[in-house]
Amino acid sequence: MSGLLRIHWAIAPKTPPRPLINCNRCGTVKAYCSSGKFRVNANGKRIDVWLIYRCVDCDNSWNFGIFERCNRRDIEPALLHALESNDPALARRHAFDIVALRNQVGRIEEFPDVAVHKQSFSDTSDDATMLELQLGLEMPISLRLDRLLAGELGISRSRLQALGEKRLLTVSRDGAKSLRKPAREGMTIGIDLSGEADRQTIISAAGG
């Protein structure tokens, strides 16, 4: 379609969520950060695995359960090796598993900061009047869609809302209502820039 510029945003969260735990050393509730290290305890055929967290103030430890009383044969050898060698990618994946964390800890501190890698599907953006952003998430994030778009495109959230009300901005899930919800994997955002004076500036910021 003439004038349509498609851009893929690969989005990765920067800061893992931090469980808020009653630290028995500090004597109060403190944030705990992932150490990036696993503890693997083998007892016969049974294995327990935890991701070790540390209090931000006193370095007291807390163990986030990954496997409990698991039969060794049920764990793939490659996975067991990754756990025993403290594989950074595996530790990161578990540190960002907000659902599993919430199952073990009542209160979680979340952070909205993300890194966005932008890739255009077109050779040129000079004649583009319609912008289509396709979101790909490494893992779920808490950052609202309007905050993500405003930060990356360099325009205000109120302007995004106005574009939505004029139907110049569309979202593939729940329409304009999605602007106030967290960005999600597979979302497609369409923005009609044909009447915008700063069209080229927005397109450049988008990655065009």
- pLDDT tens for residues 154-205? 999 999 999 999 999 999 866 667 899 999 999 999 999 999 999 999 999 9
Number of domains into which the chain is organized: 2
Residues 128, 104 share a domain: no
Q: Which two tokens stand for residue 10?
A: 């690969």
pLDDT of residue 147 exceeding 50, the answer is yes
Domain's final residue, options 83, 109, 135: 109
What pLDDT does 128 receive?
Answer: 85
Percent of the chain with pLDDT over 70: 95
Final residue of a domain: which of 78, 109, 140? Answer: 109
* 25 and 105 assigned to the same domain: yes
Looking at the structure, do residues 194 and 123 belong to the same domain, yes or no? yes
127 and 58 in a common domain: no
Do 90 and 119 reside in the same domain of the chain?
Answer: no
Query: Do 126 and 88 share a structural domain?
Result: no
E strand segments, 77-182: 108-109, 114-120, 130-137, 169-171
* Structure confidence at residue 23 (pLDDT): 96
Same domain, 73 and 124: no
pLDDT of residue 125 exceeding 80, the answer is no
DSSP helix/strand/coil, 197: coil
In this structure, what token pair is assigned to residue 169? 């901005």
For the chain, the straight-line distance linking the first and the last C-alpha, in angstroms and rounded, comes to: 16
Residue 94 has pLDDT above 70, yes or no: yes
**Same-domain check for residues 133 and 180:** yes
Same domain for 90 and 47, yes or no, is: yes
The whole-model pTM stands at 0.81
Based on the fold, state whether residues 9 and 35 are members of the same structural domain. Answer: no
* Structural domain range at position 156: 4-14+113-206
Q: Of 56, 76, 109, which residue is a domain's last?
A: 109
The reported pLDDT for the residue numbered 1 is 44
DSSP E strand boundaries for the chain: 4-13, 18-23, 28-43, 46-55, 61-71, 108-109, 114-120, 130-137, 169-171, 188-192
Mean pLDDT score, 50-73: 95
Q: Which residues are registered as beta bridge partners of 31?
A: 20
Residues 81 and 8 in one domain: no
The residue with greater pLDDT, 150 or 125, is 150
| DSSP-assigned beta bridge partners for residue 65 | 50
Shared-domain flag, residues 33 and 64: yes
